[in-house]
Structure 1
Amino acid sequence: MKFFNIQQNKYIKLSGLFQIALLVCMITTSAFAFGDKYAGEFLKIGMGVREMSLGGAAVASPQAVAAVYWNPAFLVENSVLSGQFMHTEEFGGVLNLDYVSLAFPGHSGYAYGVSYFRLGVDDIPDTRSALIDDNGNGQLDSGERLDFGKIGKFGASENALLLAMARPINSKLCIGGNFKILSKSLGSTDAWGFGFNLSALYRLLPSLQVGAIVRDVTTTFLYYPDGDNEFILPSVQLGGVYTFAPSAIPIVFRPSAGLDMIFEGETNQSDLSLGFTSSGFRLGLEIQVKKFILLRAGRDNLGCMHVGFGLETMLGAIDYGLAMGGSYTELGQSHRVGITLHFVELGKSLKRYL
């Protein structure tokens, strides 16, 4: 009875925590009306080749290393020191997306992770000082030209550092969160900001689990030197995954689904909208063949299709993903490559052969 009361009290505290988080979402949304719609857009792309190949329907089933972004509560499932590296060339190579993440094994009831994410466009031609402006009007008129020797280059990048922590509440429920430091740069202009995310993972059945994450719980602010600041309103992501394995064949099926809810008044690319709240659905399917071959397909919240495959070994995994359809049809397909390493097993293998 005492054990039951302790678990009940923990559940009540957790329920209160998420009620407070949702209340903060409502209050900040009402107070600011609408945030800067694209201030945090780069973070919505996601991290992890596997998770992106599933259309982002991964809030309830990320890899342990990718959980730092998708659902920090899932870090509790990690038992080894693991690292993940990803490189993506988005829209035919126009955008470069790089990501590295570490997940540490649990200690004293807590699990930890850290991720770094960069989205950038490099070597953009800067022609501002190259115009031979005979008319002095600052425009390229007929008969005028550019001095190619004076064309410079600059870059634009958006960066995020995520520090995550998680802990189990009981055998079915885990909670987690991350603290994120954001930076943006465009030429010589920089901006800095920080924010918080809270998440939970609940195992309804051995084969069914659900997850949730509240992003930018207290509203994330980006500060520019000139005082023209931006802010990112809270948003909510929900997800679920079901695992089943037919006894007649050595295949495991993992269908997953997700729902994104944002409060920015964006209705052009949403599946469902009500007032200033809009929602987008995510769907994914992972098929595991003989434990080490994985085939994936998904649909993200913007209606774009994703496919991919992975190879898993004791040392880690290699993943490939392809994004197509929707905006990728017009701007070019995106190719994604990722590597996951389990450092302990890798070290054992190196010692064996050295």
Structure 2
Amino acid sequence: MKRFSFTLIFVSALSAFSQTAKYSNEFLSIGVDAAAFGMANAVTATTKDVNSGYWNPAGLVHLEDNQVSAMHANYFANIATYNYVAGAMPLDSKSAVGFSIIRFGVDDILNTTQLIDEQGNIDYNRISLFSNADYAFTLSYARNLPLEGFSYGVNAKVIRRIIGDFAQAWGFGFDAGIQFQKNSWSFGAMARDITTTYNTWTFNDAELATIQDAVEGQNQVVPEASEITLPKLQLGVAKTTPIRRDFELTTSLNIDMRFAQTNDIVSSGAMSMTPAFGFEVGYINLVYLRGGVGNFQNIEQLGGNGTEIGFQPNFGVGFKYKGIQIDYALTDIGDQSLALYSNVFSLKLDWSVFR
């Protein structure tokens, strides 16, 4: 990646602006927590720890103690890094709060716009480095409803996106979620960007001029200064069943919906949706085995030979002991979807570990 020319990287970054709103802030659709990845992200109904701030803030009410969590993953052959940290705490027996930070970025990109000096000579000392990074800061609040088994949660999030010295943006938005638990059944709904999420960009005209000088004959029109992310809705249902002695099985189903036409397996001009299935087998709340399949997409074939359905199978394991939980997930086993596979690791700690 460090050998790529700056022009290719920058044109790719700017292409995100020209995408329709349905693909804005897509780094927030990747997900967090290896345990959730192992279940193909089908956790809207079951999430009940510090990571609920991302998946469904209503799940934060199930916290019994303060928790912290962290995750690291690499994408695109280790070119891009994805890092996440979060903390949450119960306020009382009915409510809880949480905070999280996400960073998704490509670092040390070569800026070759000044590679050739005024005399037409190549001077490698004129090459500099920059980063293309996206940040999200989220504050979550959850509370039990007066109806038994019901809880709700809301997120307020601030978006920060940076493309070196060339462009930067601030954005803000809100999410809302609800959960209901009855006996062995769990239900959940998560509405992301419920008011639409706005990003406002500012551009460094002097730096952009260097792009126009370096790349002649290309469309270097400065993109629009505003992006709007359309709402998304996730619905989930899950059931937990004891199996034999000391074993417990949780099976879950998610329906992920966008209010735009995409390549999801069910799509129209107004809405598209795709399912995700996951399971988790737990042994005495100590060892976990997970699996799932999701991200069902209609993939255009080369040469105009129609479409085929792609999907993303995932696998995961976890270990928990005295408030320390370590999880691992391998995503897109067998390369069945357009998404690249990734090894994901996460760590979760109950605050009692430090007492």
| TM-score, with structure 2 as normaliser | 0.80
Q: Sequence identity of aligned pairs in percent?
A: 30
Distance 1:131 1:309 in 2: 51
SS at match of 1:174: strand
* Counterpart position of 1:202: 180
Deviations 1:293-326 (A, max 9, x none): 1011112324212111100112220011111258
Are 1:230 and 2:227 matched, yes or no? yes
Q: SS in structure 2 opposite 1:42?
A: helix
Q: What are the ranges of 5 or more consecutive residues in structure 2 without an aligned counterpart?
A: 1-18, 204-223, 297-310
CA contact (8 A) 2:260 2:269 kept: no
| Cα shift readout 1:257-287 (whole Å, capped 9, x = no counterpart) | 1011101221x2x021122211011111111
- Do the aligned partners of residues 304 and 176 (structure 1) sit closer, same or farther apart at CA in structure 2, a change above 3 Å counting? same
8 Å contact from structure 2 (residues 155, 176) kept in 1: yes
Q: Does 1:317 align with 2:325?
A: yes
* 1:343 matches 2:351: yes
- Cα deviation for residue 329 of structure 1 reads 7.1
User: Equivalents in 1 of 2:252, 2:291: separation in Å?
Assistant: 10
Q: Quote how far apart the aligned CAs of 1:342 are.
A: 0.7
Could you list the per-position Cα deviations for residues 50-82 of structure 1 after superposition, in whole angstroms to 9, with x for gaps in the alignment? 112211101011241110010000111001001
Structure 1 unaligned blocks of 5 or more:
1-33, 137-144, 349-354
* Rounded Cα–Cα distance in structure 2 between residues aligned with 1:223 and 1:65: 30
- Aligned-pair distance for 1:328? 7.7
Residue equivalent to 1:272: 266
The question of 1:256 aligning with 2:263 is answered no
2:238 and 2:53 mapped to 1: Cα distance? 18
Offset of residue 327 of structure 1: 6.4
Pair 1:162-2:159 in alignment? no
Per the TM alignment, residue 331 of structure 1 is displaced from its structure 2 partner at its CA by: 7.2
Q: Is the Cα contact below 8 Å between 1:311 and 1:317 reproduced in 2?
A: yes
Residue in 2 that maps onto 1:18:
none
Quick check: 1:35–1:233 contact (8 Å CA) kept in 2? no
Kept in 2: contact 1:264–1:276 (CA 8 A):
yes
Letter in 2 for 1:240: V
Counterpart residue identity of residue 248, structure 2: V
Distance (Å, rounded) in 2 between the aligned partners of 1:333 and 1:146: 38
RMSD across aligned positions (CA): 2.1
Find the aligned partners of 1:92 and 1:310 in 2 and give their Cα distance: 24
Report deviation, 1:250.
Answer: 2.5
**Which residue in the other structure is 1:301 paired with?**
295
Alpha-carbon distance in structure 2 between the residues aligned to 1:258 and 1:187: 37
Q: Which AA in structure 2 matches 1:48?
A: D
- Determine which of 80, 96, 107 is the counterpart of 1:122: 107
| 8 Å Cα contact 2:313/2:336 also seen in 1 | no
Could you tell me how far apart the structure 1 residues matched to 2:122 and 2:115 are?
Answer: 5
Tell me which residue corresponds to 2:129: 153
> How many residues were matched structurally?
301
Q: Which residue identity does 1:340 align to in structure 2?
A: K
Cα 1:222–1:327 shift into 2, 3 Å: farther
The answer to whether the aligner puts 1:81 opposite 2:66 as a matched pair is: yes
Moved more, 235-244 or 106-115: 106-115
What TM-score, normalized to structure 1? Answer: 0.80
Amino acid at match of 1:151: I
State the Cα distance separating 1:187 from its structure 2 match: 1.0
Match of 1:311, SS state, is: strand
User: What letter is aligned with 1:160?
Assistant: A
Which amino acid letter does the alignment assign opposite residue 184 of structure 1?
R
In structure 2, the residue matched to 1:220 is 197
Separation of aligned partners in 2, 1:47 and 1:314: 22
Query: Hey, what's the Cα distance between the residues in 1 that align with 2:232 and 2:340?
Result: 28
Task: Give, in angstroms, the shift of residue 244 of structure 1.
Answer: 0.4
Contact kept in structure 2, 1:197 and 1:217, CA below 8 Å: yes
Map of 1:141 onto structure 2: none
The SS at the match of 1:37 is helix
Structure 2 match to 1:61: 46
Match of 1:245 in 2: 242
Q: Distance in 1 between matches of 2:84 and 2:341?
A: 19
Task: Find the aligned partners of 1:309 and 1:133 in 2 and give their Cα distance.
Answer: 57
Q: C-alpha separation between the residues in 1 aligned to 2:275 and 2:36? A: 15
Conserved 8 A contact 1:93-1:334: no
How many Å separate the matches in 1 of 2:336 and 2:109?
A: 21
CA distance in 2, matches of 1:73, 1:35: 30
